């Protein structure tokens, strides 16, 4: 072994990156370049990676939106003591909280993309399972998977999340009226 060769795993990777002309992954600039590269990724870039990545990102986006709604609802109830579905002050607090969370959510888009990439294989397995069990064509299995994950599961998570928020806060929040919350969130982002 060469005396100047780095002995740690981290040191070897940094040295290999420098030899390859890339910024060291252990430096602040290496992280910044990774973040800039991945932050620019959007649905077009995901489409190039494959249909399962795009479908996975759709599911991750739905879950992200649900989390924003649930966290903003919880925060507005804590701040006002009332449901944002029945009280104007709580609805205003919901909108402000949702807008702030939305900004943060966009800043961490690379994390959402990474999650989508990580779950694309399991989603592909779900598609294959439907295809095998129903003896149908792939396009139909994809459609069923989208319906089950992005519609049925999303609605179930919303409903369950609203029930949880109601149970934790003691304030009744009905998931059947969540359209009021979405409108408040959209209005808050326009200001």
The SS3 of residue 172 is: coil
Give the tens place of pLDDT for each residue, 78-127: 999 998 888 889 989 999 999 999 999 988 888 888 898 888 889 999 99
Within the chain, residue ranges assigned H as helices are 9-19, 28-39, 43-49, 51-80, 88-107, 109-134, 138-146, 154-169, 178-190
**pTM, rounded to two decimals:** 0.66
Structure tokens at 169: 């806060």
pLDDT of residue 75: 95
Q: For residue 35, what pLDDT is reported?
A: 56
The DSSP symbol for 176 reads G
Angle CA 119–122–127, to nearest 5: 125
Please state, in angstroms and rounded to a whole number, the distance separating the CA atoms of residues 24 and 57. Answer: 29
Q: How far apart are CA 84 and CA 97, in angstroms?
A: 12
CB 102 within 8 A of CB 187: no
Per-residue pLDDT reduced to its tens digit, 48-84: 567 888 888 889 999 999 999 999 999 999 999 998 8
Q: How many helices (H) and strands (E) does the chain have?
A: 9, 0
What tens digit of pLDDT does each residue of 156-176 get?
998 899 999 999 999 988 756
**Residue of 185, 35, 168 whose CA lies nearest to 101:** 185
């Amino acid at each position: 072994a060469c005396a100047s060769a780095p002995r740690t795993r981290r040191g070897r990777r940094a040295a290999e990156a420098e030899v390859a002309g890339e910024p060291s992954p252990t430096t602040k600039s290496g992280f910044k370049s990774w973040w800039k590269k991945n932050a620019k990724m959007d649905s077009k870039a995901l489409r190039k990676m494959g249909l399962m990545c795009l479908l996975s990102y759709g599911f991750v986006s739905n879950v992200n939106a649900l989390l924003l709604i649930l966290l903003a609802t919880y925060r507005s109830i804590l701040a006002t003591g009332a449901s944002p579905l029945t009280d104007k002050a709580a609805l205003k607090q919901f909108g402000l909280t949702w807008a702030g969370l939305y900004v943060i959510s966009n800043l961490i888009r690379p994390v959402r993309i990474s999650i989508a990439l990580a779950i694309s294989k399991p989603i592909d397995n779900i598609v294959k399972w439907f295809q095998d069990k129903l003896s149908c064509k792939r396009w139909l299995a994809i459609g069923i998977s989208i319906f089950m994950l992005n519609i049925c599961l999303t609605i179930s998570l919303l409903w369950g999340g609203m029930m949880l928020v109601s149970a934790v806060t003691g304030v009744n929040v009905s998931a059947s009226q969540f359209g009021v919350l979405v409108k408040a969130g959209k209005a808050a982002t326009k200001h």
